[in-house]
Amino acid sequence: MRPHELPEIRHLPLFRDMLQANFEALMHGAYAQAFPAGLELMRQGDPADFLHVVMEGAVELYAHWGGRECTMAVVRPVGTFILAACIKDAPYLMSARTLERSRIILLPSSDLRAVFRRDTEFAVSVIHELAGCYRSVVRHAKGLKLRTSRERIASYLLRQSALAGNLASYGLPVEKRLLASYLGMTPENLSRTLKTLEADGVKLDGTRVIITDRAKLSALAQPDRLIDGPDSETPSAGASLPRVQGGD
Protein backbone atom coordinates (compact mmCIF):
# COMPACT_ATOMS: atom_id res chain seq x y z
CA MET A 1 0.00 0.00 0.00
CA ARG A 2 1.24 3.46 -0.80
CA PRO A 3 2.13 5.89 1.98
CA HIS A 4 -0.51 8.47 1.09
CA GLU A 5 -3.28 5.90 0.95
CA LEU A 6 -3.40 5.00 4.61
CA PRO A 7 -4.38 8.49 5.79
CA GLU A 8 -6.92 8.74 2.97
CA ILE A 9 -8.64 5.62 4.21
CA ARG A 10 -8.33 6.74 7.79
CA HIS A 11 -10.23 9.91 6.93
CA LEU A 12 -13.23 8.10 5.49
CA PRO A 13 -16.29 8.49 7.72
CA LEU A 14 -16.27 4.73 8.11
CA PHE A 15 -12.78 4.57 9.63
CA ARG A 16 -12.42 8.05 11.06
CA ASP A 17 -13.56 7.43 14.61
CA MET A 18 -12.13 4.02 15.45
CA LEU A 19 -9.22 3.44 17.80
CA GLN A 20 -5.85 3.78 16.14
CA ALA A 21 -4.82 0.31 17.33
CA ASN A 22 -7.88 -1.25 15.74
CA PHE A 23 -7.37 0.68 12.54
CA GLU A 24 -3.85 -0.63 12.35
CA ALA A 25 -5.00 -4.16 13.03
CA LEU A 26 -7.55 -3.85 10.25
CA MET A 27 -5.01 -2.49 7.81
CA HIS A 28 -2.58 -5.20 8.69
CA GLY A 29 -4.54 -7.77 6.74
CA ALA A 30 -5.34 -5.39 3.89
CA TYR A 31 -3.66 -5.29 0.54
CA ALA A 32 -3.84 -3.03 -2.47
CA GLN A 33 -4.24 -4.20 -6.02
CA ALA A 34 -4.34 -2.54 -9.43
CA PHE A 35 -6.84 -3.64 -12.05
CA PRO A 36 -7.17 -2.80 -15.73
CA ALA A 37 -10.39 -1.30 -17.10
CA GLY A 38 -13.31 -3.62 -17.71
CA LEU A 39 -12.26 -6.29 -15.27
CA GLU A 40 -14.86 -8.19 -13.29
CA LEU A 41 -13.92 -7.83 -9.62
CA MET A 42 -16.64 -9.99 -8.22
CA ARG A 43 -19.65 -11.86 -9.37
CA GLN A 44 -23.02 -11.78 -7.65
CA GLY A 45 -23.41 -14.88 -5.53
CA ASP A 46 -19.72 -15.03 -4.59
CA PRO A 47 -18.95 -15.20 -0.88
CA ALA A 48 -18.14 -11.78 0.57
CA ASP A 49 -14.53 -12.21 1.56
CA PHE A 50 -13.34 -8.62 1.21
CA LEU A 51 -14.58 -5.13 1.78
CA HIS A 52 -13.42 -3.11 -1.22
CA VAL A 53 -12.10 0.43 -1.03
CA VAL A 54 -11.67 2.29 -4.32
CA MET A 55 -8.57 4.48 -4.18
CA GLU A 56 -8.28 5.35 -7.87
CA GLY A 57 -10.44 4.73 -10.91
CA ALA A 58 -14.12 3.79 -10.85
CA VAL A 59 -16.15 0.66 -10.22
CA GLU A 60 -19.58 -0.24 -11.51
CA LEU A 61 -21.92 -2.32 -9.39
CA TYR A 62 -24.43 -4.20 -11.50
CA ALA A 63 -26.89 -7.02 -11.24
CA HIS A 64 -27.97 -9.70 -13.66
CA TRP A 65 -30.77 -12.15 -13.99
CA GLY A 66 -32.01 -14.32 -16.80
CA GLY A 67 -29.69 -12.86 -19.41
CA ARG A 68 -30.54 -9.26 -18.56
CA GLU A 69 -28.25 -6.89 -16.73
CA CYS A 70 -28.55 -3.51 -15.05
CA THR A 71 -26.30 -0.99 -13.36
CA MET A 72 -27.02 -0.38 -9.71
CA ALA A 73 -24.32 2.12 -8.77
CA VAL A 74 -20.90 3.55 -9.56
CA VAL A 75 -18.29 3.91 -6.84
CA ARG A 76 -15.45 6.43 -7.12
CA PRO A 77 -12.48 7.29 -4.91
CA VAL A 78 -12.46 7.30 -2.06
CA GLY A 79 -15.39 4.98 -1.53
CA THR A 80 -16.12 1.55 -0.17
CA PHE A 81 -18.52 -1.05 -1.45
CA ILE A 82 -20.26 -4.26 -0.48
CA LEU A 83 -20.13 -3.53 3.22
CA ALA A 84 -23.48 -5.18 3.96
CA ALA A 85 -22.55 -8.54 2.44
CA CYS A 86 -19.24 -8.55 4.35
CA ILE A 87 -20.99 -7.91 7.61
CA LYS A 88 -23.62 -10.57 7.09
CA ASP A 89 -21.02 -12.95 5.70
CA ALA A 90 -23.52 -13.46 2.91
CA PRO A 91 -23.13 -13.76 -0.86
CA TYR A 92 -22.82 -10.53 -2.84
CA LEU A 93 -26.10 -9.39 -4.36
CA MET A 94 -24.28 -7.48 -7.09
CA SER A 95 -21.39 -7.97 -9.43
CA ALA A 96 -18.65 -5.38 -9.81
CA ARG A 97 -16.37 -4.38 -12.65
CA THR A 98 -13.83 -1.64 -13.14
CA LEU A 99 -14.84 1.14 -15.52
CA GLU A 100 -11.28 2.41 -15.76
CA ARG A 101 -7.91 1.31 -14.58
CA SER A 102 -8.41 1.21 -10.81
CA ARG A 103 -6.54 0.79 -7.57
CA ILE A 104 -8.45 -1.03 -4.90
CA ILE A 105 -7.74 -1.93 -1.30
CA LEU A 106 -9.10 -5.25 -0.11
CA LEU A 107 -9.97 -5.70 3.55
CA PRO A 108 -10.70 -9.23 4.76
CA SER A 109 -14.30 -9.22 5.92
CA SER A 110 -13.54 -11.53 8.84
CA ASP A 111 -11.20 -8.87 10.27
CA LEU A 112 -13.91 -6.31 9.76
CA ARG A 113 -16.45 -8.35 11.66
CA ALA A 114 -14.00 -8.96 14.47
CA VAL A 115 -13.11 -5.32 14.87
CA PHE A 116 -16.55 -3.77 15.18
CA ARG A 117 -17.34 -6.24 17.93
CA ARG A 118 -14.68 -4.69 20.12
CA ASP A 119 -14.67 -1.08 18.92
CA THR A 120 -17.94 0.67 19.61
CA GLU A 121 -16.91 3.80 17.75
CA PHE A 122 -16.30 1.73 14.67
CA ALA A 123 -19.60 -0.05 15.17
CA VAL A 124 -21.35 3.31 15.26
CA SER A 125 -19.60 4.33 12.05
CA VAL A 126 -20.71 1.11 10.39
CA ILE A 127 -24.25 1.79 11.55
CA HIS A 128 -24.23 5.22 9.98
CA GLU A 129 -22.70 3.93 6.80
CA LEU A 130 -25.30 1.18 6.44
CA ALA A 131 -28.19 3.46 7.31
CA GLY A 132 -26.94 5.81 4.59
CA CYS A 133 -26.69 2.98 2.06
CA TYR A 134 -30.17 1.79 2.93
CA ARG A 135 -31.68 5.21 2.51
CA SER A 136 -29.84 5.66 -0.73
CA VAL A 137 -31.35 2.51 -2.29
CA VAL A 138 -34.77 3.43 -0.98
CA ARG A 139 -34.43 6.74 -2.83
CA HIS A 140 -33.43 4.90 -5.96
CA ALA A 141 -36.40 2.53 -5.71
CA LYS A 142 -38.75 5.45 -5.13
CA GLY A 143 -37.46 7.12 -8.26
CA LEU A 144 -37.99 3.97 -10.28
CA LYS A 145 -41.52 3.44 -9.07
CA LEU A 146 -42.82 6.98 -8.94
CA ARG A 147 -41.19 8.68 -11.89
CA THR A 148 -41.34 8.19 -15.63
CA SER A 149 -38.17 7.81 -17.68
CA ARG A 150 -38.32 11.41 -18.69
CA GLU A 151 -38.66 12.60 -15.12
CA ARG A 152 -35.84 10.39 -13.94
CA ILE A 153 -33.52 11.83 -16.55
CA ALA A 154 -34.50 15.40 -15.77
CA SER A 155 -33.99 14.95 -12.04
CA TYR A 156 -30.73 13.12 -12.56
CA LEU A 157 -29.39 16.03 -14.59
CA LEU A 158 -30.48 18.52 -11.95
CA ARG A 159 -29.04 16.43 -9.16
CA GLN A 160 -25.68 16.23 -10.90
CA SER A 161 -25.73 19.96 -11.42
CA ALA A 162 -26.31 20.38 -7.69
CA LEU A 163 -23.41 18.05 -6.90
CA ALA A 164 -21.23 20.13 -9.20
CA GLY A 165 -22.17 23.22 -7.21
CA ASN A 166 -25.28 24.24 -9.15
CA LEU A 167 -23.30 24.80 -12.29
CA ALA A 168 -25.30 25.31 -15.44
CA SER A 169 -22.77 23.26 -17.38
CA TYR A 170 -20.91 20.14 -16.39
CA GLY A 171 -19.69 16.88 -17.82
CA LEU A 172 -21.53 13.60 -17.46
CA PRO A 173 -19.57 11.41 -15.08
CA VAL A 174 -20.44 8.16 -16.86
CA GLU A 175 -21.12 6.79 -20.30
CA LYS A 176 -24.64 7.28 -21.55
CA ARG A 177 -25.27 3.58 -21.91
CA LEU A 178 -24.39 3.06 -18.26
CA LEU A 179 -26.51 6.01 -17.23
CA ALA A 180 -29.45 4.58 -19.16
CA SER A 181 -29.08 1.27 -17.39
CA TYR A 182 -28.77 2.98 -14.02
CA LEU A 183 -31.92 4.95 -14.69
CA GLY A 184 -33.77 1.84 -15.79
CA MET A 185 -34.15 2.41 -19.53
CA THR A 186 -32.52 1.56 -22.85
CA PRO A 187 -29.76 3.68 -24.39
CA GLU A 188 -32.04 4.44 -27.33
CA ASN A 189 -34.70 5.78 -25.03
CA LEU A 190 -32.20 7.92 -23.14
CA SER A 191 -30.81 9.33 -26.35
CA ARG A 192 -34.21 10.22 -27.76
CA THR A 193 -35.56 11.63 -24.52
CA LEU A 194 -32.48 13.81 -24.05
CA LYS A 195 -33.20 15.31 -27.44
CA THR A 196 -36.78 16.15 -26.52
CA LEU A 197 -35.62 17.64 -23.21
CA GLU A 198 -34.15 20.57 -25.13
CA ALA A 199 -37.66 21.99 -24.98
CA ASP A 200 -37.51 21.72 -21.21
CA GLY A 201 -34.40 23.67 -20.45
CA VAL A 202 -31.47 21.29 -20.86
CA LYS A 203 -29.22 20.47 -23.77
CA LEU A 204 -26.49 17.95 -24.34
CA ASP A 205 -23.38 18.46 -26.37
CA GLY A 206 -21.71 15.09 -26.41
CA THR A 207 -20.89 14.41 -22.81
CA ARG A 208 -21.45 18.04 -21.80
CA VAL A 209 -24.69 19.00 -20.05
CA ILE A 210 -25.92 22.55 -20.45
CA ILE A 211 -28.87 23.69 -18.40
CA THR A 212 -30.49 26.49 -20.37
CA ASP A 213 -33.57 27.03 -18.24
CA ARG A 214 -33.31 25.72 -14.72
CA ALA A 215 -36.84 26.77 -13.76
CA LYS A 216 -38.37 24.86 -16.63
CA LEU A 217 -36.27 21.79 -15.96
CA SER A 218 -37.17 21.90 -12.27
CA ALA A 219 -40.86 22.15 -13.11
CA LEU A 220 -40.53 18.88 -14.99
CA ALA A 221 -38.22 17.09 -12.58
CA GLN A 222 -39.91 18.28 -9.39
CA PRO A 223 -36.77 17.59 -7.39
CA ASP A 224 -37.60 16.20 -3.98
CA ARG A 225 -35.35 16.09 -0.97
CA LEU A 226 -36.75 12.66 -0.13
CA ILE A 227 -35.69 11.19 -3.46
CA ASP A 228 -32.86 13.32 -4.76
CA GLY A 229 -31.24 14.41 -1.55
CA PRO A 230 -29.18 16.31 -0.68
CA ASP A 231 -28.29 13.46 1.61
CA SER A 232 -26.59 14.87 4.59
CA GLU A 233 -26.32 11.10 4.93
CA THR A 234 -24.15 10.71 1.83
CA PRO A 235 -22.87 7.15 1.80
CA SER A 236 -19.35 6.69 0.63
CA ALA A 237 -20.48 3.28 -0.36
CA GLY A 238 -22.32 0.84 -2.48
CA ALA A 239 -25.50 2.64 -3.17
CA SER A 240 -24.25 6.01 -4.30
CA LEU A 241 -25.42 7.55 -7.50
CA PRO A 242 -22.95 7.97 -10.29
CA ARG A 243 -21.17 11.09 -9.17
CA VAL A 244 -20.26 14.10 -11.19
CA GLN A 245 -16.76 14.27 -12.52
CA GLY A 246 -16.39 17.98 -12.16
CA GLY A 247 -17.77 20.79 -14.20
CA ASP A 248 -16.68 24.21 -15.12
Which residues bind to DNA, rule: CB under 7 A? 148-150, 175-178, 184-195, 204, 206-207
Q: How far is the CB of 193 from DNA (least distance, A)?
A: 6
CB nearer to its own copies: pick between 61 and 164:
61
Nearest residue (CB) to its own copies, 93 versus 162? 93
Binding site for its own copies (CB under 8 A): 44-45, 63-66, 68-70, 72, 83-85, 87-88, 90-91, 93-94, 116-118, 120, 123-124, 126-128, 130-135, 137-142, 144-147, 151, 184, 222, 224-227, 232-233, 239
7 contact choice in DNA, its own copies, none (CB below 5 to 8 Å, kind-dependent): none
Closer by beta carbon to its own copies, 132 or else 201: 132
Taking the C-alpha atoms of residue 245 and residue 230, their distance in angstroms, rounded to an integer, is 17
What value does the CA radius of gyration of the chain take, rounded to a whole number of Å?
19
**Contacts with 104 (C-beta within 8 Å, 6 or more apart), sequence order:** 32, 33, 34, 35, 41, 52, 53, 54, 55, 57, 59
